[in-house]
Copies of this chain bind each other. A is one copy, B any other.
Amino acid sequence: MTDDDFMQRAIDLARAGMRKKAGGPFGAVVVKDGAIVGEGSNCVTSKNDPTAHAEIQAIRHACEKLGTFSLEGATLYTTCEPCPMCYAAIFWSRVSEVVFAGDRKGAARAGFDDNILWDDIAKPVGTRERPMRKVSDKVANALFDEWLTMVDKTPY
């Protein structure tokens, strides 16, 4: 299978999801060792889950299927340039490469404008769209201390 085949599957997932009213027109697949190991389409409105973007769904599906939280060596094909949430999820999941078709301009034209978020997330805490208030970190630091002393934890 080629790049085109994998992207075609992502496109098919996007179209099917949109037509069955699962969510917006976005699809994604995760490919490892030449085979699709995870699939997803946007399900924000049908699942009442604002995190259910196509890329996140595909990453979750692939990890569940492979029984791992690391997708190192995998490629994610997505019908549209990932938003900051999805790029960060790609980063944490250790997906090695991203191939995308539509871009943020095309998405904005369809009513999915993430430029505000791209600008916002680059700002320092305290100056962003969503107010962020820091309280004492004493107890949180006690949690970190406990974590550091645990001997049988699974680090990641």
Measured CB to CB, the residues of A under 8 A from B are 3, 7-8, 11, 14-15, 18, 21, 23-25, 44-45, 48-51, 56, 59-60, 63-64, 66-71, 79-85, 87-103, 106-107, 109-111, 117, 120-122, 125, 128-141, 143-144, 146-148, 150, 152-156
Q: How far is the CA of A8 from the CA of B138 in the complex (A)?
A: 12
Q: How far is the CA of A56 from the CA of B138 in the complex (A)?
A: 23
CB of A104 to closest CB in B, whole Å: 9
Q: How far is the CA of A125 from the CA of B87 in the complex (A)?
A: 10
Q: Using A15-B143, A122-B122, A150-B18 as known contacts, say yes or no to A130 and B96 having CB atoms under 8 A apart.
A: yes
- Residues from chain B with a CB closer than 8 A to the CB of A70 are 50
Contact B51 A93 (CB under 8 A): yes
- Residues from chain B with a CB closer than 8 A to the CB of A18 are 143, 146-147, 150, 153
Q: How far is the CA of A84 from the CA of B130 in the complex (A)?
A: 13
- Residues from chain B with a CB closer than 8 A to the CB of A109 are 144, 148
